[in-house]
Chains A and B, each alone.
Chain A
Amino acid sequence: QQQVKQSPQSLIVQKGGISIINCAYENTAFDYFPWYQQFPGKGPALLIAIRPDVSEKKEGRFTISFNKSAKQFSLHIMDSQPGDSATYFCAAVLPSGTYKYIFGTGTRLKVLA
C-alpha cells in the first residue's frame, strides 16, 4: 500500500514532442505529490509538485495532471527538448508528522534532437 508505481521505465521522444510519465498509488493518506528531475552525477531536483485538492498544475512546459478518484497522477512535458533528457521520479508524501517520501522507480527520458 506504500508503493508508487511509475511507468514507463524508459521513454524516447522526438524534439518538440510531448513526454508523458504516469504514476499510481494506493494509500489515500498521501497528500503531496512532487516530481523530481535527475541528471547523471547529480542529486534529484524538485521540478513541480501538486496537492490533491487540484486536478492540474502547470509550470512552464511542465504540467502535472492529478486524478484523485483513480489515484493516479502524471507529468506532461510539452515541447520536449534534448536538455530535458534525464531521469524523472514521482513521489508521494504522507502528511507531516508521519513524514515519509515514497518514490516511484524512475523513468529515463531521452529526447532526440
Chain B
Amino acid sequence: KAGVTQTPRYLIKTRGQQVTLSCSPISGHRSVSWYQQTPGQGLQFLFEYFSETQRNKGNFPGRFSGRQFSNSRSEMNVSTLELGDSALYLCASTSGTGQDEQYFGPGTRLTVT
C-alpha cells in the first residue's frame, strides 16, 4: 500500500506570494490533516478534512486554507506569505471513521524569503 505523498517536497517563495501544497492520502483513507512544524513551536494542527468537508480547525489565521477533493486528495493554500510561515508542512491521513492511527507524509519544506 502506498504511503502518504506530498508535493512538492521543497519550495522557496517570496514574502507576499501565495503557495499551494498538495497531499495524497493512503488509498481508502478519507481524512487528511495538515500540520505546521517549526523548531520553536513543534507540531501545530492546521485543519482536518473528511469527505471534502473541513471537520476541525486549529488556531491559524485565515491566510491558511485548505480543501479536499472527491478522491480524498487535499490541498493547502497559504496566501500573502510571511517570513514566519517558513516551516515543514506535514499532512497525515487516517480512515477517518474511528480513532485510527495517523500516517504522515514526508512533508513539504517551505522557505519564505
Contact = CB atoms under 8 A, between A and B. Distances in A.
Contact of A89 (B4, B33, B43): B43
A95 B106 contact: no
Nearest to B9: A41
A106 B42 contact: yes
B42 A99 contact: no
Secondary structure call for the A interface = loop
Contacts, number: 53
Interface in B56-89: 56
Given A43-B90, A99-B48, A34 B42 contact: no
A99 B105 contact: no
A13 B102 CA distance: 28
A45 B102 CA distance: 9
A44 B98 contact: no
Interface residues of B, number: 24
A46 B99 contact: no
Secondary structure call for the B interface = strand
Contacts of B92: 43
A93 interface: yes
Contacts of A89: 42-43
B98 A101 contact: no
Nearest to B33: A101
Contacts of B4: 43
A89 B96 CA distance: 21
Interface of B: 4, 31, 33, 35, 41-43, 45, 48, 55-56, 90, 92, 96-99, 101-107
Given A36-B104, A89-B43, 14 more contacts: A42-B106, A43-B90, A45-B104, A46-B103, A89-B42, A95-B99, A99-B31, A99-B99, A100-B56, A101-B45, A102-B45, A103-B43, A103-B45, A105-B41
